[in-house]
Structure 1
Amino acid sequence: MRRYLKNTSSIGLSSPLLRRHIPMVALIQMLAVAEYLSFHRAALALDTSQSSVSARIKALEEDLGIVLFDRNTRGVRLTEAGRRFVDQVENAMEILNHAIQTAEVQARGEEGELRIGVYALTTGCFLDRLLERFHGNHPSVRLHITEGTARDAQIMLRERRVDVAFMAQTHQIPDLHSRVIWRDRLMVALPANHRLTAQADVEWRQLAGETFLVRHSGTGPQIHDLIVARAAGRWLTPTILRVDVVRSTLLSMTAAKHGVSLFVEEAAAATTANVAFLPIRDEPETIAFSVVWSPSNRDPALMKLLTLATELR
């Protein structure tokens, strides 16, 4: 019972307790008297006066229209009606106490859920390590992962269907916050026996005659635009084949000589048989990856994830 002694605020506007003008402190004092079977010892435990406890219990009995305690020279004992009432109030206090603790945990970002939009999730990549570390630090926060394009992610952020999204490249979005959290080198994935695999690296011009395999989802739209931009004004835009497949299937198609594809260097760590990764020597910059979120979303778990992303950057 002692764990309830500090919960002395009144409760909900629709509650019979409030309609009958029964404050929470009266119930807490009643539970104390029921535990100690003494107004004096209950008052000591609550750090208040015996007269205050006695007056509140009497007022509570009048409000309820029942006698909770038999008082006599030998002490205090619960009536049958009082015992039943105390049992039910204790159960209600357990529920209320659990609700308060749950709210406090969620307010600290230690429990709840995060809905995360990703372009892809590769074992061992920065994003995979980030989410693994976050889950290890906050195991009670459930992570819901949704894969899609940057455009999909922006729509879901605005509609509050995801809390945060990870996207390739930098983004200046007026109604959303964005921060670059890591960069990686661009690589071309080639069939293992491709004529260019004898080289240490390649140049964009050497890829002009290739068929590029580009996913519809994930970073596919951005990869498509990058290929077009690199060809512009220098040679004809290469053939670009849009495929509706996951990353692993894209690599398998590359291995089977359906075309070449583009990845960042961390993807090369997850080596796929019959695929070779080469850096593009004249690619002018590394590829940025950003975390994007709504400024109106102040979820504590989200703030913890953003902090961890910055620390691991």
Structure 2
Amino acid sequence: MPSKLLNGRVPMVALIQTLAVAEYLSFHRAALALGTSQSSVSARIKTLEEDLGIVLFDRNTRGVRLTEAGRRFVDQVHDAMSILDRAIKTAGMQSRGEEGELRIGVHALTTGCFLDRLLERFHDDYPSVRLHITEGTARDGQFMVREGKLDLAFMVGAHDISDLNARIIWRDRLLVALSAKHLLAGRPDVDWQQLAEETFLVRHGGSGPQVYDLIVTRSAGKWLTPAIIRVAVGRTALLSMIAAGHGISLFAEEGVAANTANVVFRPIRDEPETIPFSAIWSPSNRAPALLKLLALATNMR
């Protein structure tokens, strides 16, 4: 036969009153704390004892004390109430975007850049939201957002994607990275034509595909496309290759490390525009934490 607690016949108020009596060891003081009458508390607990088939409290002229069965019952009810309270608080926090998790795709993450500051600020504001960061290309990010594997992806460029939301979050200046021994390293800036004879090193991952497209676009109709070598390395290895004189590459200004050894960064004076960085997400994803991150990004911009 199902227990009366499981099929809902024991009122929650009876459990709350039981916990109060166990705390105060007095029906009178428990009733005062709960703002009800002593007779109501006494009657409910008596009914609960009858339903459970056990005696929860020993009553005598000197006061009230828990029986051994009562102590065990109260301990378990207290644990259950704590779990219920946590569930209610968690649900409320999740509905407000203050708890849960966000899966975020990035093209790169460099200390001090806008994206790094954004995620750090979000973590400070919402420490109970766990951030799971995945690095990949813009193509990877789009696929993973569509498949529900990412909530949001940050990527280089402005994007118009029919089935996804996209918004430019910030812009940055474009710089060329050169070996400190390069002939152009001593100049305050360079122009695109001066780079036409150079060999560009472009990563397969991260923002590499966008860098490749930009080099081709800036050369179109003006001069032959420069030599472009795709390299399957990370950002640190790419900078080492540039420092060693194997080629040059392009970086956003905020992604430049101040202490990069033997590499110099110069602005391209005839670059017509700053580089946009966008966020993309699914229109069906209305997770409160996602909306809070987007709002914070807009405010910080």
- C-alpha distance 45-234 of structure 1, shift in aligned 2 (>3 A): same
For 1:248, which of 228, 233, 236 is the aligned residue? 236
Aligned to 2:263: 275
For residues 15 and 56 of structure 1, what CA distance do their matches in structure 2 show? Answer: 17
Q: Name which of 193, 197, 217 aligns with 1:205.
A: 193
| Cα RMSD (Å) | 2.6
Q: Is the 8 A contact 1:20 1:63 kept in 2?
A: no
Q: CA deviation at 1:157?
A: 1.7
Superposed displacement of residue 218, structure 1: 0.7
Seen in structure 2, the aligned counterparts of structure 1 residues 132 and 39 have a Cα distance that, compared at 3 Å, is: closer
TM-score, structure 1 normalization: 0.84
**What residue is the counterpart of 1:311 in the other structure?**
299
Q: Which sits farther off after the overlay, 133-142 or 151-160?
A: 133-142
Gaps of 5+ in 2: none
Question: Is the contact between residue 31 and residue 38 of structure 2 (CA under 8 Å) also seen in structure 1?
Answer: yes
**Amino acid corresponding to residue 300 of structure 2 in structure 1:** L
Shift in Å at residue 300 of structure 1? 3.5
Shift in Å, 1:208: 2.0
Rounded Cα–Cα distance in structure 2 between residues aligned with 1:161 and 1:40:
56
Larger deviation, residues 299-308 vs 247-256:
299-308
1:117 and 1:153 map into 2 onto residues whose CA distance is: 6
In structure 2, relative to structure 1, the CA distance for the partners of 1:79 and 1:197 (3 Å cut) is closer
Displacement of 1:311: 2.1
Does the 8 Å contact 2:4/2:51 carry over to 1? no
What is the Cα deviation at residue 77 of structure 1?
4.3
Is 1:174 aligned with 2:162?
A: yes
Q: Matches of 2:112 and 2:220 in 1, distance apart?
A: 34
Give the match for residue 122 of structure 1: 110
Within-5 A mapping of 1:77-156: 77-156=65-144
Which residue is equivalent to 1:257?
A: 245
Query: Quick one: which amino acid aligns to residue 258 of structure 2?
Result: A
Q: Does 2:200 correspond to 1:216?
A: no
Q: TM-score, normalised by structure 2?
A: 0.87
Question: Aligned pairs, how many?
Answer: 300
Displacement of 1:74 in angstroms is 5.9
Whether contact under 8 Å (1:170, 1:180) holds in the other structure is yes
Equivalent pair of 2:165/2:283 in contact (CA under 8 Å): yes
2:48 aligned to 53, 57, 60, which one?
60
Percent identity reads 74
CA distance in 2, matches of 1:268, 1:62: 73
Partner of 1:63, secondary structure, is helix
Question: Residue type matched to 1:283 in 2?
Answer: E
Give 1:15 shift.
8.2
Q: What is the Cα deviation at residue 162 of structure 1?
A: 2.4
Deviation at 1:103, TM superposition (A): 3.8
Deviations 1:116-164 (A, max 9, x none): 2111112221112222333333344333221110111112222332222
Aligned equivalents of 1:266, 1:38: Cα separation in 2 = 66
1: CA distance between counterparts of 2:288 and 2:282?
13
Contact residue 37 and residue 77 of structure 1 kept, 8 A: yes
Query: Partners in 1 of 2:269 and 2:117 — Cα distance?
Result: 28
Gap regions ≥5 residues in structure 1: 1-13
Matches within 5 A, 1:18-97: 18-19=6-7, 21-71=9-59, 76-97=64-85
Q: For the residues of structure 2 that align with 1:133 and 1:20, how far apart are their CA atoms?
A: 45
Residue 113 of structure 1 contacts residue 141 of structure 1 at CA under 8 Å; is this kept in 2? yes
